[in-house]
Chain A
Amino acid sequence: MTADVGELFKLYHGPLVRMLHRRTGDRDQAEELAQETFARAVEAPPQNPRPWLFAVALNLVREDARTHARRSRRLTLLKSEPQSSPAPDVDFERRERQEAVRDALAQLNDRDREALLLKAEGFSYDEIAATLGLARGAIGTTLARARRRLVEAYRAQELRKHAAS
């Protein structure tokens, strides 16, 4: 059993953390949730591991979103800025863009957002359907809507920012 989980860890830990980081914006939270996901896999080894692991991870994100946010604030702000350079605006543009993208992503509903993130991890329509509990025929519609909404939300933010500046 454990060897199987070890193999799963090798295969999916990186993609899982990446997807969770994209979803949460918090590297350590992503690591923690990935750990919890694998801990659950130890207890109940999945038959279809990739959709199972990502589905559990996404469920954990949803469960955790409220409780984790308040608790982690102060510590998160420290680790999110590993540099102690005196220049406070170093790397600012990239972070600003990431915040804008994350805000845009936050405007999507859970299903659209998660379908997008899973597709970005190379999931097939069948795997996305299995992970999210959707019909395969709904995936094309979901992705088309999610992509358009994400791009439009981001563009709207950019326009607002330019208008304000």
Chain B
Amino acid sequence: MPHLDDATIHTLLDRELDSAEQQAVESHLAECEQCTARLAEERSIMSGAEELIASLDEPPGEKSEVRSEKSEVRGEKEEARREPASGAAFLHPSAEPRGKGPPVVLIPEGVPAGWLPRRRWPLAAAALLVVAGGAGWLVFRPNEPTAVAVGTESLALDTVTDAEEAAMSAAIMRAPAGLPAADTTDPDTSPQVASMPAAQAAFDSPATQEFSNALPIDLAVGVTGGSSSTADEQQVRLRAQAAEVALAESTTLAIRESLLAVERARDSLAQLAQRRSDDSARQAIAIQNAEATERRRAEAQRRDAAEVALESPPPQPVARPTAGAAAAARDEATTRQRVAPAPRMGPIGLDEAADLLGQPVHAIDGMRFNSVSLVPGSSFPGADAARPVVRVTYIGVDGGIIYLDQQRLLDGSGEGDTEEVFRASGWYIGSVRLRLMGDVTHDSLAVLVGKVR
């Protein structure tokens, strides 16, 4: 028998050879080392290809959970909207979605085929099509604006799936890059947490750093008062609390919400501080900061899972670390700064932001932005990682926060790149990539995207 060709090997691996062929092939393989080696190679290719294709799927539970909850919301919205909606005659009362699962509308059997839209756009706008098994009804939902269907994929701040949690945990535990490392380089204030590597990682994590970013505001306006060492102690203590929260299993959502709250508070405070420098403004800042701090404390105490972290003694500003540890910390900090110099984060002026972007800052037409700030990160291929994301923050009419993120492309990477990049990451204006997100409905966001100038 001649050597096996690729097709035969793959047919063998797929168990699609008939018995006679299989017997002949196996006999040949028993005698031919060359074909045996090729079989192993092709098996590796086959499993590699299967793995790549499977990687295109969303992680289990990520989409389905979100979708199910959204379906419930949509069901409620539609119920309110429907009366006396046209097309209601097609609705079967028992078909209204109540639990998880696709929404259900029924079409009586015998409806002419022409009644069903032939193009998919009306179907798309009509959301999910489901069939009621055995009932003699087809399921269909009357047309809605496309934006509504898309809107049901709204940003679900209150929906954290397992996969999102895992991703968030990974982000929390990831070693920081380019973050200020003053705490580890200054032996007088460095917390001795070497015995708690996980706590240290969480303590230094970007999430925790973000979480505690509001603290300098407390200190800067002198609200908390006291000596600098007291202030440092308080900062360390509060950051330790943040680390404990980050360690708790169920705090992902809390962190996310708190980050939003902190971001919102910080933006508001920055604006306040710019407009008013008198004592009343400071008082307002003091009150808001106290509330924010109390909210974080309450959040940490409320979570049962946080008790796990609290059982361990929180990192305290205690004795100086050993000379070796301090030197190692300094080396680490030096390395970090050399490898990835931390850009200055926080509020910036429009001119500075425009310099970073290489073009004027984009804004939502007809809306007054709340603040312009820099946030760390590079979220798409082709982004210039040396330039942080310029974030223009808006407060919607219902109080929801809206972010318009902008980041410059690497020089020479071109505009738009591929469609796939576009779909996954945002859209482009010139050499700047934009992304709009916020805790408002997708209907609103869909409208706002069209107003970005």
Contact (Cβ within 8 A) B450 A74: yes
- In the complex, are the beta carbons of B424 and A99 less than 8 A apart? yes
B residues near A (Cβ < 8 Å) are 6-11, 14, 16, 42, 45-46, 48-50, 52-59, 63, 66, 109, 113, 116-120, 123-124, 128-138, 146-147, 149-150, 153-157, 164, 167-168, 171, 206-207, 210, 256, 259-260, 263, 375, 377-381, 389, 391, 403, 405, 418-427, 435-439, 442, 445-446, 449-450
**Complex CA–CA separation, A103 to B417 (angstroms):** 12
> Is A82 a contact partner of B155 (Cβ separation < 8 A)?
yes
If A39-B117, A77-B426, A79-B150 touch, whether A89 touches B379 (CB-CB below 8 Å) is yes
Bound complex: CA of A75 vs CA of B146, how far in Å?
A: 10
Q: Are B155 and A6 in contact (CB under 8 A)?
A: no
* Contact A88/B423 with A140-B14, A154-B52 known, Cβ cut-off 8 Å: no
Is A87 on the interface with B (CB-CB < 8 A)?
yes
Say if the beta carbon of A54 comes within 8 Å of chain B.
no
- The distance from the CB of B29 to the nearest CB of chain A, in whole angstroms, is 16
For B10, B48, B154, B206, which residue has the most chain A Cβ atoms within 10 angstroms?
Answer: B10
14 additional A-B residue pairs with CB within 8 Å, beyond A77-B426, A101-B53: A6-B133, A6-B138, A25-B56, A32-B124, A35-B123, A36-B123, A39-B123, A77-B435, A78-B446, A83-B437, A84-B439, A86-B391, A88-B405, A119-B14
Residue picked from A5, A32, A33, A103, most chain B C-beta under 10 Å = A32
Query: Whole-angstrom distance between the alpha carbons of A35 and B128 in the complex?
Result: 7
| B420 touches which of A1, A43, A86, A102 (Cβ 8 Å) | A102
| CB <8 Å contact, B120 and A60 | yes
Given contacts A39-B116, A88-B435, A151 and B48 within 8 Å (CB-CB): yes
Q: How far is the CB of A152 from chain B (nearest CB, A)?
A: 9
Nearest 10 interchain pairs by C-beta:
A79-B153, A140-B7, A6-B131, A88-B379, A140-B11, A144-B6, A147-B49, A36-B120, A141-B7, A88-B377
- Find out whether the CB atom of B381 lies under 8 angstroms from the CB atom of A6: no
Measured CB to CB, the closest approach of chain B to A51, in angstroms, equals 16
Please determine whether B59 and A94 come into contact, CB atoms closer than 8 angstroms.
yes
How many Å lie between the Cα of A119 and that of B278 in the bound state?
Answer: 70
Subset of 28 A-B contacts with CB under 8 Å: A6-B131, A25-B424, A38-B129, A39-B116, A75-B146, A75-B449, A77-B425, A78-B153, A78-B449, A79-B153, A82-B156, A84-B439, A85-B256, A86-B259, A86-B260, A88-B435, A89-B377, A89-B378, A91-B167, A99-B418, A99-B420, A101-B53, A102-B56, A139-B11, A140-B8, A143-B10, A147-B46, A154-B52
